[in-house]
Amino acid sequence: MDYHPILQAIRQEDAPAVLATIASVTGHSYRKAGAAMLFRLQAGSIGSISPGCLEADLLARVPHVWQTGRMERVDYNMNPDEDAIWGESVGCGGAISVLLEPVRGHLWDCLTEAGRRMEQGETTRLIREVRGGLPHYRLESGSAAELASEDARFPQTLFVPRPTLLLFGAGEDAIPISCRAQEAGFRVVVADWRERLLTQDRFPGATLIAGAPELIVRQAGIRSGDYAVISSHQAQRDRAMLAELVQLDMAYVGIIGSQRRIRTLTEGMDGKRLTAIHAPAGLRIGAEGPDEIAVSIAAELIAVRAQRRAQRAKGGEGSENRRHLFGSWGQQTNGRTKAVARAVAGHYARQPRT
């Protein structure tokens, strides 16, 4: 889950708020354990933990939790065979336990510090404990694998920094990509050699960098596991940026353009360094125009991010299900080629489910 909007609001507003976190889930649920939302007593809520069916009941409890200053645990049974009220109205078929916590005192301190660490690229875990009947909080930093824990009486929230997406090229088609990627939970860096195109009016919320590819990569702090989309439409500069990025172990490098142009950009490059390239960028959904193409690229970024998370959870990165250039699928290490389901004259391909 992307906790960035919640932590940002807590740090910036310092106003009465209650944090709602899914402590446990049995059976089916719209969101998994650890998902959270912030109820602000004066400015509405941020995030969601259900399709909207639980929020009204939780909201009714928020003033009491804030006034008493004590956490409260609320259980919901959405199985219609066991709970005629919640089960019939929701129909999700699972049981959910939600922890409500007033964001004040030590919890506020920990959440503001977690937000600061996230912005510095640190992964942090919030550990909840009860001592003498009172809640206590503490933070630990490390890698996601080191901090993963399922043996806890209370939920232990993992705050992972937003992955960075470098968007090279600040043309008109880059504007919706920046917006959709930020909405999908990416930290976006827009870079171009044309400084006049790099304005907050055009790219609100993005980090803006002007310069040559080598300088951009260094200033943006691009590193292994980051994401990039090359879209300046200037062949020499796009190739120079690609040459910089293939030196890194990128999670994703998308290239916008025709297959002929993409072959020109990659000509002569070491094929072993091109495994992260998705070209043309975006899922094959028949997108037309900048807005639809931006949606297809954001969807592909989400798919790659989810796949990498699933692979890390299984204990390795692996190469299975990685797309190669020109929209095809790569051969697996065991020699068998992955089948691709195609429709509409071969223009659509089903993405692997993670």
> What confidence category does residue 319 fall into, taking pLDDT thresholds of 50, 70 and 90?
very low
Q: How far is CA 155 from CA 11, 51, 104, 129, in A?
A: 22, 21, 18, 9
The SS3 of residue 183 is helix
- Mean predicted confidence (pLDDT) in 275-301: 93
pLDDT reading at 106 higher than 70: yes
Q: Rg for the chain (alpha carbons), in Å?
A: 23
Output the pLDDT for position 135: 87
User: Is there a contact between 102 and 69 (Cβ–Cβ < 8 Å)?
Assistant: yes
- CATH number of the structural domain 164-349: 3.40.50.720
pLDDT reading at 217 higher than 70: yes
Output the pLDDT for position 261: 87
* Structure tokens that stand for 225 in this block: 């596991």
Could you give the CA distance from residue 173 to residue 178 in angstroms, rounded to a whole number?
9
Q: What is the pLDDT of residues 123-171, one digit of tens each?
A: 999 999 888 888 899 999 877 666 666 555 677 898 988 999 999 999 9
Could you give the CA distance from residue 258 to residue 214 in angstroms, rounded to a whole number?
25
Domain map (residue ranges) of the chain:
4-159, 164-349
Output the pLDDT for position 349: 34
pLDDT reading at 65 higher than 70: yes
Output the pLDDT for position 25: 87
Identify which has the larger pLDDT, 94 or 152.
94
Output the pLDDT for position 13: 84
Could you give the CA distance from residue 225 to residue 310 in angstroms, rounded to a whole number?
14
Output the pLDDT for position 313: 63
Output the pLDDT for position 78: 72
- Mean predicted confidence (pLDDT) in 49-67: 90
CA 119-165-333 angle, 5° bins: 115
Residue 38, φ and ψ in degrees, nearest 5: -115, 120
Q: What is the pLDDT of residues 168-211, one digit of tens each?
A: 999 999 999 999 999 999 999 999 999 999 999 999 999 999 99
Amino acid at 298: A
Edge-to-edge strand list for the sheet holding 36-40: 44-47, 36-40, 17-26, 95-102, 72-77
Tell me what percent of the residues of the chain surpass a pLDDT of 70.
81
Least confident among 5-19, 147-161, 213-227? 147-161
Output the pLDDT for position 84: 46
DSSP 27: S
Least confident among 187-201, 231-245, 310-324? 310-324
Tell me what percent of the residues of the chain surpass a pLDDT of 90.
52
User: Is there a contact between 59 and 52 (Cβ–Cβ < 8 Å)?
Assistant: no
Could you give the CA distance from residue 349 to residue 354 in angstroms, rounded to a whole number?
16
pLDDT reading at 285 higher than 50: yes
Least confident among 37-51, 166-180, 242-256, 268-282? 268-282
E strand or H helix at 125: strand 123-131
